[in-house]
Amino acid sequence: MLRCDELGAISDEPGRLTRTFASPAMRRANKLVGSWMRKAGLQVREDAAFNLLGRRNSERRGAKTFLLGSHLDTVRDAGNYDGPLGVLTAIATVQLLRERGVKLPFNLEVAGFSDEEGVRYHTTCLGSRALAGTLTAADLARIKEKQIVKARRRQGEFLGYAEVHIEQGPVLEKNNVPVGVVTAIAGQSRLCVEFHGVAGHAGTVPMNLRHDALAGAAELVLAAGCCGALATVGKLEVAPGASNVIPGHAALTLDVRDQNDPRRLAAVRLLHAKAKIIARRRGLKLTWTPVQQTSAVQCDKALTRIFSRCIAQRGLEVLKLTSGAGHDAAALAAICPVAMLFVRCKGGISHNPAESVNTTDIAPAIDVLADFIQTLATRHA
Ligand code: HGY
Ligand code: MN
Ligand code: MN
């Protein structure tokens, strides 16, 4: 918890926590977390995608690798736990296993991924997708740091990936349990939508003759509230941005989520149709740009069963839940089995500086993750 606070003070913006892909704050964060990885006996390096990697090799020659971790980047004005808690509990677990003198038949690696939130380029999981080798040409066209493709790891190298993460929702708190097992991760569609109107004088253009780009965007924001999936407009930019000028241009981000991919894609199609109607009626030009589609992911049943068993053996109730939030685990699922352990967070608040966890919930998370790794070790002995 002290480490979460210390890390939470490393930001690209004064007075609030914001750490974005490949930024100066991310470099400082990697340096600090790298020092904690070394203290846990890990060999530390940064890969071509600015992912921080700490590795403990097995004595077994040619052993495969089990990957733990989460992300070190944050949203704007973030809390201290979304991402960093998963990296720091993984490091604490490695330390605990070393103190227990546990020998492992596989290498253990901890990743601090460099861009799960995608704040800088509106992408998501640049770091973990670079490591997984699933970046697309469209992704690379959006970013300056093209060399991140070199972070790709060997096919079949990973036995699996497990991620500890705050729930970012109210379910664990409502059920009064400290940890829960994730069964699935929602799919997400990220788009950029622009309305191009005509800037004009606020005092002379009659209302019925206006081509007001912001008014069109505002109608789409309201339509997002009833499209059949979770839809959010998180960013809205208006130009030219003067109080006495009718907005000639409005650009908004659209984020659509659902556990069910066809339902999510139907919601995106519905909003696209509504945007065209709004544009036609208001005499606006519409630009509709899909930025990224991420399919829903099922967590691996065998790994999830191990997590459930480890939770039960600790005398805790086993609660299974789905994740509405995206995670690096969804990116890793392209190359290996994945599992996630959620930790209760107060009020389910996240993507907000008020995000917080109970200190007493962290020990069970670390214990369960350590038991999970030890159970895996017996399976691969
Ligand atoms: O947006 C998400 O679901 C995650 O926090 N990146
Ligand atoms: Mn996260
Ligand atoms: Mn997040």
Q: Which of 267, 294, 321 is the last residue of a domain?
A: 294
- Give the position, in ligand 1's atom list, of the atom nearest the Cα of 186: 3
Counting Cβ atoms within 10 Å, is residue 246 exposed (0-12), middle (13-18) or buried (19+)? buried
So what's the pLDDT on residue 180? 98
Would you place residue 356 in the very low, low, confident or very high pLDDT band (cuts 50, 70, 90)?
very high
Give the distance (Å) from ligand 3 centre to CA of residue 381: 36
Last residue of a domain, one of 261, 294, 327: 294
Instruction: State the pLDDT at residue 381.
Output: 84
Q: Is the pTM of this model over 0.75?
A: yes
Residue 239: give its domain's CATH number: 3.30.70.360
Burial class (CB in 10 A: 0-12, 13-18, 19+), 144: exposed
What is the pLDDT averaged over residues 45-74? 97
Q: Are residues 118 and 73 in the same domain?
A: yes
Same domain, 146 and 234: no
Q: What percent of the chain has pLDDT over 90?
A: 99
pLDDT of residue 353: 98
Domain with residue 11: its CATH number is 3.40.630.10
| SS3 per-residue string spanning the chain | CHHHHHHHCCCCECCECCCCCCCHHHHHHHHHHHHHHHHCCCEEEECCCCCEEEEECCCCCCCCEEEEEEECCCCCCCCCCCCHHHHHHHHHHHHHHHHCCCCCCCEEEEEEECCCCCCCCCCCCHHHHHHHCCCCHHHHHHCCCHHHHHHCCCCCCEEEEEEEEECCCCHHHHCCCCEEEEEEECEEEEEEEEEECCCEECCCCCHHHCCCHHHHHHHHHHHHCCCCCEEECCCEEEECCCCCEECCEEEEEEEEEECCHHHHHHHHHHHHHHHHHHHHHHCCEEEEEEEEEECCEECCHHHHHHHHHHHHHCCCCCCEEEECCCCHHHHHCCCCCEEEEEECCHHHCCCCCCCCCCHHHHHHHHHHHHHHHHHHHHHCC
**Residue where a domain terminates, one of 262, 294, 326:** 294
Residues 193-234 pLDDT 10s: 999 999 999 999 999 999 999 999 999 999 999 999 999 999
Same domain, yes or no: 271 and 319: no
Ligand 1 neighbour 116 (Cβ under 6 A):
yes
Domain count, the chain: 2
Q: Which domain holds residue 109?
A: 2-186+296-379
Q: What percentage of the chain exceeds 70 in pLDDT?
A: 100
Q: What per-residue confidence (pLDDT) applies to 7?
A: 98
Cα dihedral 41, 42, 43, 49 in deg (nearest 10):
-160
Do 302 and 176 fall into the same domain?
A: yes
Position 237 pLDDT exceeds 90:
yes
**325 CB less than 6 Å from ligand 1?**
yes
- The closest-lying atom of ligand 1 relative to the alpha carbon of residue 255 is 1
| For ligand 1, atom 6: residue with the closest CA | 117
Mean pLDDT of 173-185: 98
Same-domain pairing of 230 and 373: no
Among the bound ligands, the one closest to the CA of 70: 2
Residue-wise pLDDT tens digits, 289-328: 999 999 999 999 999 999 999 999 999 999 999 999 999 9
**Residue 117, ligand 1, Cβ within 6 A:** yes
Q: Distance between CA 87 and CA 83 in Å, rounded?
A: 7
Mutate to test the pocket of ligand 1, among 85, 115, 124 (most ligand atoms within 8 A of CB): 124
Structural contact between residues 304 and 321, judged by C-beta atoms closer than 8 angstroms = no
- Are 177 and 192 part of one and the same domain? no
Mean pLDDT over each residue of the chain, to the nearest integer: 97
User: How far is ligand 3, taken at its centre, from the CA of residue 71, in Å?
Assistant: 9
Distance CA 224, CA 268 (A): 9
Q: Are residues 222 and 178 in the same domain?
A: no
